[in-house]
Amino acid sequence: MDELIKKIDENLDKFLPQEYPDKLFKSMRYTVLLEGKRLRPILCLEFCRIFGGKIENAMPSACAIEMLHAQTLIHDDLPCMDNDDYRRGKLSNHKVFGEAVATLAGDALLTYAPQVILRNSTNLSPKVKLAILDDFFRFGGARGVIAGQVIDIESEGNISNHTEQNLKFIHKHKTGDLFRLAVRTGARIANADKISFEKADEFAKNFGLAFQIADDILDVTSDFAEMGKTLGKDEKESKLTYVSLYDLDNAKCKLLSILEKCDIMIDEFNSTILENILKDIRKRVNL
Amino acid sequence: MDELIKKIDENLDKFLPQEYPDKLFKSMRYTVLLEGKRLRPILCLEFCRIFGGKIENAMPSACAIEMLHAQTLIHDDLPCMDNDDYRRGKLSNHKVFGEAVATLAGDALLTYAPQVILRNSTNLSPKVKLAILDDFFRFGGARGVIAGQVIDIESEGNISNHTEQNLKFIHKHKTGDLFRLAVRTGARIANADKISFEKADEFAKNFGLAFQIADDILDVTSDFAEMGKTLGKDEKESKLTYVSLYDLDNAKCKLLSILEKCDIMIDEFNSTILENILKDIRKRVNL
């Protein structure tokens, strides 16, 4: 796993070199290259491998998805959004580069990332490239992660919006969609058949949900050293989360049942990496 | 021309229907559908026609470029950037929908626009689609319009950055790149040969420069009713413009000479629409 993360980090650095204007590229590189678990690119590469593809062929897309993820972090942390000063244990982008450059660096990543796919995926057919890009725009856009973020913001501090329906929508889109994008992209690059593709997508949906419930729990039970970002904010800003809508015990029960579902699904994928990722979630949440 | 604008407006409305979340799509539609001159989509459609293509085939791309343009306007107007309360005579996006939603609406347009190209350009080959998208990301991204915006911001109020080199860079990218994208896209869709394509691109570079010098002049000489946005701001915020680096008379001379260059170039394009656009610039600047 550590070796894979190292490989991804090297490729992120390679695909996003320092260019002019200095400050713009420094700001883009700052958040993209922050130390991270690289879950999304790992899932992309691993599902490519699971279905018999070469992971080198998936590397540009895996890195592009991490860049898209970094974009959402930069804009989410802005004062007008979640107003977070820290991310992955370091100052957030706008605290280092200012709000204007942070906003533009996010915009730049949104157009840079798909170009990384376009220009570096030399072994993919135009048809596969177009399908990957269509998913990229769908899950990374107004019908995907951004839709989730809007409903998340609208629910903040507004208890009348704290419904199960909104919670599901936020988790499905804000967290789940980038995991789906990662898994589907890996499967596409390996030319997975339709049934395998659907199974992988179904796993991604459940995994995304598990990941977000764990995140909601950790916001209450963890500390800065562990998470690298300001915690306890969900409650303070009366955010709509699994813990706020139900309670901590119920959230843990729900998480346990989804993790068990994930366990069953990955049996047929035969993947130590997926097993380790699920184990890690259990360990962090103390399940 | 009015008929063409009407057609573009109808297609913008069709390609960007109201969806859920309501506020997000309302915000996206608000700026995209503001009454405007639609210069970029018109140039895209007109260069498609000039080189023998069907303008229907270029309509999705033309609308996508207008959406990209709207994205730059929404983010440029944000308080952390140019802090403009008005755009095209109406309140700017964040004054109506708030900063958070305006930021997200801009992000959403950046992913929605290329999807409009992908999903609606049924008559284009995958190869042409990929070439158009590559241009879209290049001119709309960190090496294009965003690079120009960053240097523009860095020059604001900082006289030591007021150099001819920076001025050229800002105009080339911040204004010129979207015109180049529009013209090149139209030419690509018509399958223009290489020499014609280069000529069109060269015209776009010069046209972009003329447009921006005119804009710099009008910031000094025009009024709100004419321009629909706050004027006199360039001087107040000591922005780097043609007028600030040289002076009003020199800026007018420079504009005149570039417009004459444009006149010569469009002779062989045989286009009343291009003639009218140039005439309109002359009229507004009193040349």
Report pLDDT digits (tens) over B91-113: 999 999 999 999 999 999 999 99
The answer to whether B207 and B179 are in contact (CB under 8 A) is yes
**pLDDT of A207 over the 80 cut:** yes
Q: Residue B268 carries which side chain, given as an amino acid letter?
A: E
How confident is the model over B209-228, as a mean pLDDT? 85
How far apart are alpha carbons A286 and A283 in whole angstroms? 5
Query: Which of chain B's residues have a Cβ under 8 Å away from the Cβ of A100?
Result: 80-81, 153
Per-residue pLDDT band for A228 (boundaries 50, 70, 90) equals: confident
Instruction: Say what the pLDDT of residue A35 is.
Output: 94
For A199-227, b where at least 16 C-beta lie within 10 A, e where not — what string?
A: bbbebbbbbbbbbbbbbbbbbbebeeeeb
Q: What is the CA radius of gyration of chain A?
A: 18
Decide yes or no: CATH 1.10.600.10 for domain A2-285.
yes
Spatial contact of A206 and A258, defined as CB atoms under 8 Å apart: yes
Residues whose CB falls within 8 Å of the CB of residue B232, separated by 6 or more in sequence, listed in order: B219, B220
Mean pLDDT of the region B66-71: 98
Please give the single-letter amino acid code of residue B26: K
Helix, strand, coil abundance in chain B, percent, nearest 5:
75, 0, 25
Q: How far apart are CA B235 and CA B214, in angstroms?
A: 15
Substitution target from A78, A80, A165 for chain B, most B beta carbons within 10 A: A80
pTM: 0.96
Does B64 have pLDDT greater than 90? yes
pLDDT in tens, A175-201: 999 999 999 999 999 999 999 999 999
A154 interaction partners in chain B (CB closer than 8 Å): 21, 23
- Give the angle subtended at the CA of A87 by the CAs of A86 and A91, to the nearest 5°: 45
Contacts with B100 from chain A: Cβ below 8 Å: 80-81, 153
Q: Report pLDDT for A245.
A: 87
Distance, in Å, from the CA atom of A34 to the CA atom of A70, rounded to the nearest integer, reads: 9
User: Mind telling me how many Å the CA of A62 is from chain B's nearest CA?
Assistant: 18
Instruction: Read off the amino acid at residue A49.
Output: R
Residue of chain A with shortest Cα separation from B145: A108
Contacts of A135 in chain B (CB under 8 A): none
DSSP state of B174: I
